[in-house]
Amino acid sequence: MTDDELDIDDCQTEFGIPHSILAHAGDYRIVELHYKCASSEQEAHLDLHLSRGSEVRRLRFLRPQQLVIEEGFPEPTHGMMIIDASGDGLDGLGVRVIDIEASHGAITFWAKDVIDLDVSDSG
């Protein structure tokens, strides 16, 4: 099992189940953030490029809502967690991004879904 693969029995936290797209998001730092407003061609989305050493992950969060960028950004904590909220019964919201360290510079929001731009054709 790789570092980002989840064993469902080991992944439940007090905050929810980490999303399988990036189980250990807190190990990464945000190196790029891009918000795109909805248009006739595309729904609103938020792209986060995250790095850990030489590895870069590019994630797109579809229809982000309740976006909060705390004072202190761009030096956020390394407590980011991407939660799979698809089983929570929230209409149109399947992903929650939180900061479990609760210190300055955090980015938090809800989204419809998240896709990996490096394996998806929808970029």
pLDDT tens digit sequence for 20-78: 999 789 899 899 999 999 999 999 999 999 999 999 999 999 999 999 998 888 776 67
What type of residue sits at position 95? V
What type of residue sits at position 59? L
Torsion, Cα of 3, 12, 93, 95 (10° steps): -20
72-101 tens-digit pLDDT? 887 766 788 999 988 766 678 999 999 888
What does the alpha-carbon distance between residue 52 and residue 29 come to, in Å, rounded to a whole number?
7
